[in-house]
Amino acid sequence: MENLKIAVIPGDGIGPEVITEGIKVLEKAAELDGRIQFEFTQFPWGCEYYLEHGRMMDEDGIDRLRDFDAIFLGAVGYPGVPDHISLWDLLLRIRKEFDQYVNIRPIQLLNGAPCPLKGGNKEKIDMLFIRENSEGEYSGAGDWLFKGKPEEVVLQTGVFSRKGTERIIRYAFETAKEAGKTVTSISKANALNYSMVFWDEVFEEVSKDYPEIQTYSYLVDAAAMHMITDPERFEVVVTSNLFGDILTDVGAALAGGMGLAAGANINPERKYPSMFEPVHGSAPDIAGKGIANPLATVWSASQMFDFFGYSDIGEKLLQAIEILLEEKEVLTQDLGGIATTSEVGDRVAQILKGLF
């Protein structure tokens, strides 16, 4: 039996609500399968912790996370603590310190999930976003000059290193190679005359190592439109940190909403723990009501199984989500139902029983 140590950071708002269901499902799947035993350790970090201790995590927080096999995170950020503090001291810090440079975000419209597009279906909306997750527009570099003065100037610097740009593009090509898919790069070289010109050049160079793979390249504004008018053209998509952030919320809207958008922050070299978390935030508008949709978190749990080499279990989790969506009996409000967060988690666990 493999023992896997998971650090759990429920975080803020609906984070703890959805993560409870994620753990429920991870444990149920492991129990039914019999090959894995999870050991969960909870860390109470987040905005409440900040208000009490003046920081988002323990001083030695990063060191305490280092030896876990993975991190399972709910959401970070809540009114009362400025977002740039809460996010940079916890979520973004973990992504950076553990060099989780690949953010894998599937945008797949499962059967039974609502889609705002006429004729939208599973075949047409099936993309895999590979978002650069360590640098770019999120380098954190910048300056704030002459604060409050008439000559005030603010700089926010995008940093695109050769190493950082090449490795994410290569990761996308390797993923596409394995899956027999096309690769689309999304950039913006017409306006961003340093960073995106460089991005396009690196994409061109790396693509030469994969002559068998069909490639496409779009400007981000046009890509945003194509995602709505012709989503079928996207398969594996590689893009920068900020563009990936924005476009995966567009993708979420196409594939059932924020309640179904999953993500994995991966350090492919496995030098550090990878982190699994839904794409959505703490949703203060619905927090504390027990009505958040936990399926994005369950999908991220499925990605965790894939990552550990148990993609057969990951597949079963996805199947369970799809069965639940198709039967339309136990759904949260965002999907038109009246079920609570924990009722959805219970139903997923129940469906899983029939799949092993």
Residues that bind Mn ion (CB under 5 A): 245
Amino acid letter at 311? S
The verdict on 87 binding ligand IPM (CB under 6 A) reads: yes
Cα–Cα dist 3/315, whole Å: 20
Catalytic residue, chosen from 245, 306, 316, 334, is: 245
Q: What is the DSSP string of 216-243?
A: EEEEHHHHHHHHHH-GGG-SEEEE-HHH
Site for ligand IPM in 228-257 (CB under 6 A): 245
With H, G, I as helix, E, B as strand and everything else as coil, classify residue 247: helix
Task: Please say if 209 is a catalytic residue.
Answer: no
User: CA angle at residue 263 from 259 to 266, to 5 degrees?
Assistant: 165
Task: Please say if 221 is a catalytic residue.
Answer: yes
The verdict on 336 binding ligand NAD (CB under 6 A) reads: no
Angle between helices 341-353 and 295-307 (to 10 degrees): 40
The verdict on 92 binding ligand IPM (CB under 6 A) reads: yes
> Hey, what are 162's tokens?
């050769």
DSSP 162: H
The verdict on 123 binding ligand NAD (CB under 6 A) reads: no
Length of the chain: 356
Catalytic residue, chosen from 49, 50, 101, 138, is: 138
| 27 C-beta neighbours (distance < 10 Å), count | 16
Site for ligand IPM in 38-77 (CB under 6 A): 77
The verdict on 334 binding ligand NAD (CB under 6 A) reads: yes
64 CB-contact burial (10 Å; exposed 0-12 / middle 13-18 / buried 19+): middle
75 binds, among Mn ion, ligand IPM, ligand NAD, none (CB under 5 to 8 A by kind): ligand NAD
Task: Please say if 188 is a catalytic residue.
Answer: yes
Site for ligand NAD in 244-303 (CB under 6 A): 258-259, 277, 280-286, 292-293, 296
Nearer to ligand NAD, 195 or 282 (CB): 282
The torsion angle over the Cα atoms of residues 46, 285, 84 and 127, rounded to 10 degrees, is 100
The verdict on 279 binding ligand IPM (CB under 6 A) reads: yes
Cα–Cα dist 356/340, whole Å: 25
Site for ligand NAD in 38-97 (CB under 6 A): 75-78, 83, 87, 91
| Contact set with ligand IPM (CB under 6 A) | 77, 87, 91-92, 245, 279, 281
Binding site for ligand NAD (CB under 6 A): 14, 18, 75-78, 83, 87, 91, 258-259, 277, 280-286, 292-293, 296, 334
Which amino acids are annotated catalytic? 138, 188, 221, 245, 249
